[in-house]
């Protein structure tokens, strides 16, 4: 809604009001002023919005996010970027909205007294941080992890004949195994889950899972799927001719058969949309998974394991059709 007052408007009003008694004219003026004061700020047009973007690191993925985020914003949104959350001080405020990128930045900024939109954080981490919140304010998130239904849709599209899905997990796993089992059951898959008790048992636990699985699904668990262990996990799965479905492009580059993930550019575009809406309404959207996603395939691994694969575009289309999600 926009209010447009022109000289012609005032002239017409003056003619009509001149015929009214003085006390009626005074009453109309008072009512008009009260009405204007009650209108929300955006009724007069888009107010400027000051956004502070706090990056967890200054590495390429975070810089890419910040650059893409700026490019998709409305002209009334003004952005400042803080590359290291530990450098934050009271001088960096005021802002109307803080966008935190990554876990480190989110942990640092969650207690600030203005709305926070956390991006590129695992959903489990976000809810853990939310439980510790004592301030009453707007907080929301755009997760980095894909919905379980989307991950299962990738299995269905890429490996329809491999029905036993192996999963290694620990106490630190950021996934709901009960929900994963439900999603797999819907598509006719069987979950073969094994809890890793310690670093010493990882090798034997992995061997046990691979013996009873047709495909190994990586999950967000830094105690298992990390740079120290991923090479051994990949080599063991190769020996058993069991493909690994990963969590990112890095997994595919390292030797996973395929992966589904959202790029910094895709997450930044979604964050820009949420910020543009906030600029108009001053309300954050509900916490949400990535709206946009990418599928990657390692064709060399597919040939080595004698697995017939579809192109990334075809897999994407099939997942999109099954899950009602967009690119």
**Residues 54-104: pLDDT tens digits?**
999 999 999 999 999 999 999 999 999 998 887 777 665 679 999 999 999
What confidence tens digit (pLDDT) does each residue in 98-123 have?
A: 999 999 999 999 988 899 999 999 99
224 has pLDDT over 90: yes
Over the chain, what is the mean pLDDT?
86
Give 60: exposed, middle or buried? Use CB within 10 Å, 0-12, 13-18, 19+. Answer: exposed
- Picking from 110-114, 186-190, 239-243, 292-296, which range would have the lowest pLDDT averaged per residue? 110-114
Considering Cα of 113, then 121, then 169, then 189, what sign does the dihedral take? positive
Q: How far apart are CA 112 and CA 137, in angstroms?
A: 9
Q: Cβ distance 322 to 157 under 8 Å?
A: yes
Q: How far apart are CA 225 and CA 168, in angstroms?
A: 9
Asked whether residue 101 falls in the same domain as residue 125, the answer is: yes
Asked whether residue 101 falls in the same domain as residue 163, the answer is: no
36 has pLDDT over 50: no
21 has pLDDT over 70: no
Q: How far apart are CA 203 and CA 196, in angstroms?
A: 9
- Picking from 26-30, 272-276, 277-281, which range would have the lowest pLDDT averaged per residue? 26-30
Give 66: exposed, middle or buried? Use CB within 10 Å, 0-12, 13-18, 19+. Answer: buried
Mean pLDDT over residues 227-251, rounded?
A: 95
8 has pLDDT over 80: no
Q: How confident is the model at residue 28 (pLDDT cuts 50, 70, 90)?
A: low
Asked whether residue 154 falls in the same domain as residue 300, the answer is: yes
Phi and psi at 2, nearest 5°, equal -125, 140
143 has pLDDT over 70: yes
Q: How many domains does the chain have?
A: 3
Strand partners, 193: 167
Residue 78 falls inside a structural domain: yes
Residue 88 has what pLDDT? 75
In this structure, what token pair is assigned to residue 199?
């670093």
Asked whether residue 58 falls in the same domain as residue 94, the answer is: yes
Mean pLDDT over residues 184-204, rounded?
A: 94
Hey, is 139 helix, strand or coil?
A: strand
Segments forming the whole domain that contains residue 186 = 148-261+293-323
Percent of the chain with pLDDT over 70: 83
Q: How many CB atoms lie within 10 A of CB 47?
A: 13
Residue 54 falls inside a structural domain: yes
Find the distance separating the first CA and the last CA of the chain, reported in whole Å.
32
Mean pLDDT over residues 22-38, rounded?
A: 49
Q: How confident is the model at residue 299 (pLDDT cuts 50, 70, 90)?
A: very high
Asked whether residue 57 falls in the same domain as residue 108, the answer is: yes
Q: How far apart are CA 285 and CA 117, in angstroms?
A: 9
Residue 18 has what pLDDT? 55
30 has pLDDT over 60: no
**In 3D, which of 325, 123, 119 has the Cα closest to residue 220?**
123
Residue 94 has what pLDDT? 74
What global pTM score does this model have?
0.81
Asked whether residue 179 falls in the same domain as residue 297, the answer is: yes
Q: How confident is the model at residue 185 (pLDDT cuts 50, 70, 90)?
A: very high
CA distances (Å), 275 to each of 2, 107, 135, 257, 279, in order?
A: 21, 20, 21, 36, 6
Q: How confident is the model at residue 222 (pLDDT cuts 50, 70, 90)?
A: confident
Asked whether residue 126 falls in the same domain as residue 158, the answer is: no
Asked whether residue 157 falls in the same domain as residue 140, the answer is: no
Residue 137 has what pLDDT? 81
Q: How far apart are CA 80 and CA 70, in angstroms?
A: 10
Alpha helices in 72-160 (DSSP H): 103-109, 123-131, 148-158
Asked whether residue 185 falls in the same domain as residue 298, the answer is: yes
Asked whether residue 210 falls in the same domain as residue 306, the answer is: yes
Residue 28 falls inside a structural domain: yes
- Picking from 170-174, 286-290, 314-318, which range would have the lowest pLDDT averaged per residue? 170-174
């Amino acid at each position: 809604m926009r209010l447009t007052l022109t000289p012609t408007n005032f002239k017409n009003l003056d003619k009509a009001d001149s015929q009214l008694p003085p006390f009626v004219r005074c009453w109309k003026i008072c009512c008009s002023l009260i009405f204007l004061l009650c209108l929300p700020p955006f009724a007069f047009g888009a107010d400027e919005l000051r956004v502070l973007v706090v990056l967890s690191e200054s590495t390429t993925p975070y810089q890419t996010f910040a650059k893409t985020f700026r490019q998709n914003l409305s002209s009334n949104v003004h952005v400042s970027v803080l590359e290291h959350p530990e450098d934050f001080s009271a001088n960096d405020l005021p802002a109307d909205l803080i966008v935190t990128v990554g876990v480190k930045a989110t942990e640092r900024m969650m207690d600030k007294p203005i709305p926070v939109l956390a991006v590129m954080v695992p959903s489990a981490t976000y809810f853990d941080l939310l439980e510790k919140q004592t301030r009453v304010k707007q907080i929301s998130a755009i997760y980095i992890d894909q919905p379980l239904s989307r991950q299962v849709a990738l299995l269905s599209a890429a490996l329809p004949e491999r029905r036993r899905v192996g999963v290694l997990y620990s106490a630190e796993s950021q996934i709901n195994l009960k929900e994963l089992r439900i999603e797999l059951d819907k598509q006719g898959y069987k979950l073969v889950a094994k809890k890793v008790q310690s670093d010493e048992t990882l090798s034997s636990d992995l061997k046990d899972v691979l013996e009873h699985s047709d495909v190994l699904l990586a999950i967000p668990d830094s105690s298992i799927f990390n740079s120290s262990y991923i090479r051994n996990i990949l080599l063991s799965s190769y020996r058993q001719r069991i493909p690994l479905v990963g969590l990112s492009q890095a997994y595919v580059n390292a030797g996973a058969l395929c992966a589904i993930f959202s790029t910094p550019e895709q997450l930044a575009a979604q964050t820009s949309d949420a910020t543009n809406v906030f600029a108009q309404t001053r309300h954050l959207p509900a916490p949400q998974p990535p709206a946009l996603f990418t599928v990657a395939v390692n064709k060399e691994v597919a040939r080595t394991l004698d697995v017939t694969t579809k192109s990334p575009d075809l897999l994407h289309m099939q997942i999109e059709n099954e899950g009602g999600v967009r690119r």
